[in-house]
Amino acid sequence: MYRPVNHGYIEAIIGPMYSGKSEELIRRLKRAKIAKQNIVVFKPTVDNRYSKEDVVSHSGDSIEAIPINKSSRIYDLIDEKTQVVGIDEVQFFDEKIVDVAVDLADKGIRVIAAGLDMDFRGEPFGPTPKLLAVAEFVDKIQAICSVCGHPATRSQRLVDGEPANYNDSTIKVGAVESYEARCRKCHVVKK
């Protein structure tokens, strides 16, 4: 894929859980590092720790990232030398993340954002849909359906091994929650 040099733009990497979004994000960021570019990577956090943590893929690759709880924090943590900004789990950020990504791209930064396009119900997830609309490049990638082995586009939420209900946003204490990649046909949302 052709990508202009010294121009800002937005790349979005989307798909269900286990589709390799983090793997692809890490791959692109590592290549930017090899090109001696100045990169900063962010991921969402629920608390106020700003310690360095890694973005880790299910296959074990990792890259150093800064956990932040508000998209505007990105401005405090980049500087005029920053050329590439990576963002993982973009669906968990506030809606302002889209404006921040656009602003950084306008300023000449390459923004690479990875995240879930749909929630466990199969509905568009948080700021991701808006980000896709303004991105120059979108890669929608698939996992493997854990039921039938076909390409999986959805994330199946299970509570104690059973498909979760549409309205289950939190689960009962003691219940075990898990996720699987599934295709449209095998994806189940109980109503």
Kindly tell me which of 108 and 149 has the beta carbon lying closer to ligand ADP: 149
Place of tokens 């219940």: 175
Does 120 sit near ligand ADP (CB under 6 A)? no
Handedness of CA 127, 132, 137, 141 (dihedral sign): positive
Binding mask 57-96 for ligand ADP (x = CB under 6 A): xxx-------------------------------------
Burial of 191 (0-12, 13-18, 19+ CB in 10 A): exposed
Asked whether 146 and 123 are in contact (CB, 8 A), the reply is no
Stretch binding ligand ADP (CB under 6 A), from 1-9, 43-51, 140-148, 168-176:
140-148
Beta-carbon count within 10 A of 32 CB: 17
**What residues act catalytically?**
89
Q: E-assigned strands of 99-150?
A: 110-116, 137-140, 143-144
Residue 186, binding choice from Zn ion, ligand ADP, none, Cβ under 5 to 8 Å by partner class: Zn ion
Residue 147, binding choice from ligand ADP, Zn ion, none, Cβ under 5 to 8 Å by partner class: Zn ion
> Which residues of this protein are in contact with ligand ADP, per CB under 6 A?
15, 17-23, 57-59, 143-144, 146, 181
